[in-house]
Chains A and B, each alone.
Chain A
Amino acid sequence: MAHYLVFLEQRGGCISKVSVDTWNRVQQQAAQEGESVSGFVGGPLKPTALGELYGNGTIYHAQDEALSLPSETLLCRILSALVAEEGCTGIVIGATAAGRRLAPYLAETLHASLLGGCAGGSLHSELCRRYIYSGLVLAAYRPEASIRIFLQGREQSRRSFFSTDRPHCVSFDASPFFVPHENLLIRSVTSGNSRKSIAESAIIVAGGRGMGGKDQFVLLEELASLLGGSVGASRSAVDEGWRPHSDQIGQTGKAVAPDLYIACGISGAVQHLAGLSSARTVVAVNSDPHAPVFDAADYGIVGDVREVIPAFIGAVKEVLQKK
């Protein structure tokens, strides 16, 4: 019977949102099949850190400060030892930047089948279906190894868990896994900002070249903060220097999975749309009625962003006040 290990990513003493979703989702799927789940988290935690995790099983917690910023190499040593000790057949990792780097390293170490970005995100399906070629092809892959590693994005795990049970936390001694002269270290993280990462946002307001300039993004910032979302960008907007590369959405940027995506002054190139395959509802604002972005949108407004966005901000404030 399957036994899963969920890697819980820690940020500033809290479990990341993606990891919380992943844990709860795995619990739910495992419960349906009578399977069991363990977890691992490294680094000092705030007392409330595990508060959003439901279900059964054990969470191994290694308190070492060095695990707040672990290298792929170090994490791989710890997780592969845990997998062997616990006899895990499935490892589930949230598809964050760190998770994406860790998963293939671990897959090689364990000779495990890596299944990343599977549509639907079921742990039990025989095939993993995922988008390739900029989202224009849906391919199916069959895992061949006895251990599987699942990289799961947020879209697959938003449901909250129904159980009121709580996993129990035991402390884990990671000291055997530290080596005296580690040849790769993450020295520091300078949080550029406290903004929510677009990969985790439920609402994204994105701007393209049609915004006309850096200053115009203030409008999108205002709309995003009104809606509790964040701002993204097309590659053209990034190339113009209007936004940092971390805001770029698409094939060479981030794949996002919001409930609502509002594309402002974005033409809808296939490379941009590649980042949107998992967006639920897409709204497009563009002055060109023939812009390809409308073909990928649920709702569209033809018009100048400099007029439409301020009017839309006003209208949103109005509906929110009426409530």
Chain B
Amino acid sequence: MNIAVCICQVPDLPSAVAVVDGSLDLSRVAWVMNPYDEYALEEALRLKERFPGSAVIALAAAPEAGKELLLKALAMGADRAVEVCSSTLQDSFQTAWVLAEAIGNIYGQELPDLVLCGRESLDLQNASVPAMLAGMLGMPFAGSVTALRADGESLEMEREGDDGLETLEALYPLVISAEKGLNIPRKTGIRQVMEARKKPLEIVQASALPDPLVRFAGAEPVSLKKACRFVETPSELAGLLYRGGFFKTAQE
């Protein structure tokens, strides 16, 4: 089974992100693999272990070399890692486009059987790249999957819908986005990291990008601080909230 996993990196601590004159300053940020992408990669590795002859390729689109990210993917067990370099990616559409192009170049006419992504990138929380990538590759898309059972022909998946647990059935090829709960990603040690350095890590250049559908137009810092009024007793609080009109639902 041929599996491509799309991975990206996010700030370890969001508080290290600064805003200077309306632009983002990420110079103090320490980067980690997006947690949802760890679920995606772990699931790919489990499938590879179950289906002999499978290959897992980790893919990252990044403006500059995020080699640590790719090494981490290789250390976890990916067979090959590819970083697609391009100028700053403006939106999810451009990101998906770069990934789709790379998948086309790597796999040719025979698309991978599965493309696994994270549900969303924790920093920007677009939750858009996987679905857009599916559209571009002409594959169906199963989002926010929390359980996956695969055999050679078909897949059965679960996810949390708005109404309860949904069960899905699908055939290959398919794009899946991984939700928390899908698995517990493996840890990597020194030995795996050493081995990773021997595996193929390629950096390729993306061709000219299409126009973005959405453009970043500035940012401002946010303070979550409120002036907290400390209340002495629970009954004082109940009185305040009652007068604030919060108990209407209770009276209906």
Contacts and interface: CB of A to CB of B under 8 A. Distances in A.
A192 B125 CA distance: 27
B122 A16 contact: no
A277 B140 CA distance: 33
A97 B161 contact: yes
Interface in B202-249: 211-222, 224-235, 237-242, 244, 246-247, 249
A297 B224 CA distance: 9
Contact of A136 (B15, B142, B218): B15
Contacts of B181: 245
Interface stretch (A58-66, A84-92, A127-135, A211-219): A127-135
A184 B231 contact: no
A311 B229 CA distance: 19
B66 interface: no
A237 interface: no
A252 B35 contact: yes
Contacts of A199: 162
A189 B159 CA distance: 10
A165 interface: no
A191 B164 contact: yes
Contacts of A299: 228-231, 237, 240-241
B164 A190 contact: yes
B237 A270 contact: no
Interface string B155-171: 00000111111111111
Given A105-B134, A136-B14, A298-B229, A312 B214 contact: no
Chain B residues touching A, range: 35 or more
Interface in A248-300: 251-252, 259-260, 270-271, 273-274, 276-277, 281-284, 294-300
Contact of B128 (A97, A107, A300, A318): A107
B28 to A, nearest CB: 13
A315 B237 contact: yes
B143 A101 contact: yes
B233 to A, nearest CB: 8
Contact of A104 (B92, B160, B228, B229): B92
Nearest to A297: B228
B194 interface: no
Contacts of B218: 139-140
Contacts of A140: 216-219
Contacts of B244: 281
Contacts of B136: 108
A10 B230 CA distance: 43
A135 B162 CA distance: 24
Contacts of A318: 235, 238
Tell me whether chain B's interface is mostly helix, strand or loop, or mixed. Answer: mixed
A227 interface: yes
B92 to A, nearest CB: 7
Interface stretch (A35-43, A142-150, A167-175): A142-150
A308 B238 CA distance: 11
A81 interface: no
Nearest to A126: B217
Given A131-B222, A315-B238, A188 B167 contact: yes
A111 B163 CA distance: 30
A24 B122 CA distance: 32
B224 A283 contact: no
A109 interface: yes
A228 B250 contact: yes
Contacts of B226: 282, 295-298
Contacts of B241: 260, 283, 299
Contacts of A229: 249
Interface string B120-162: 0011111111111011100011111010000000000000111
A8 interface: no
Contact of B14 (A133, A183, A320): A133
A163 interface: no
Given A108-B96, A299-B240, A312 B234 contact: yes
Contacts of B168: 71, 184-187
Given A300-B231, A312-B234, A141 B214 contact: yes
A71 B140 contact: yes
B249 A187 contact: no
Interface in A300-323: 300-302, 308, 311-312, 314-316, 318-320, 323
- Per CB-CB distance, the 7 closest pairs between chain A and chain B, nearest first, are A228-B249, A108-B135, A315-B238, A104-B128, A312-B234, A315-B235, A191-B164
10 contacts: A69-B166, A107-B93, A113-B213, A116-B126, A137-B17, A137-B19, A193-B164, A245-B181, A251-B122, A300-B230
Given A133-B11, A184-B170, 10 more contacts: A107-B213, A109-B135, A112-B213, A114-B214, A140-B218, A141-B216, A144-B214, A185-B168, A191-B164, A299-B237
Interface of B: 11, 14-15, 17, 19, 24, 35, 91-93, 96, 122-132, 134-136, 140-144, 146, 160-171, 174, 180-181, 211-222, 224-235, 237-242, 244, 246-247, 249-252
